[in-house]
């Protein structure tokens, strides 16, 4: 099933995309998440592969769940939230 591609993938691949891994030292494996931030957005992927996006500098920490099913879609989302001056070719 296509929607499960990201859910069952090795999420450590996110480190290659610039994400930071947080919560490794927790006794609860559900605390593990991957985070990517720039000046305007915070992108978070949890241990189940669910993707959340928050706009920074708005005064709240509201995340919306993004329907992102695989790494290609995740790369497109990263490209969309990254200012043109920070994009690598």
Specify the pLDDT at position 2: 42
| pLDDT at site 78 | 92
Q: What is the pLDDT along the chain (89 residues), one digit of tens a residue?
A: 344 577 767 778 888 889 998 887 777 777 889 999 988 899 999 888 899 999 998 877 789 999 998 888 999 999 999 877 765 65
Both tokens of 84, joined, read 């043109």
Structure tokens at 10: 């090795």
Burial 22-34 (b: 16+ CB within 10 A, else e): eeeeeeeeeebbb
The reported pLDDT for the residue numbered 1 is 36
Q: What gap in Å lies between CA 17 and CA 3, rounded to an integer?
A: 20
């Amino acid at each position: 099933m296509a929607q499960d591609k990201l859910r069952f993938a090795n999420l450590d691949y996110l480190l290659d995309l610039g994400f930071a891994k947080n919560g490794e030292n927790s006794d609860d494996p559900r605390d593990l998440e991957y985070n990517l931030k720039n000046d305007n957005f915070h992108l978070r992927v949890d241990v189940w592969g669910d993707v959340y996006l928050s706009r920074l500098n708005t005064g709240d920490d509201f995340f919306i769940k993004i329907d992102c099913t695989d790494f290609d879609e995740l790369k497109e989302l990263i490209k969309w939230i990254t200012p043109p001056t920070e994009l690598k070719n």
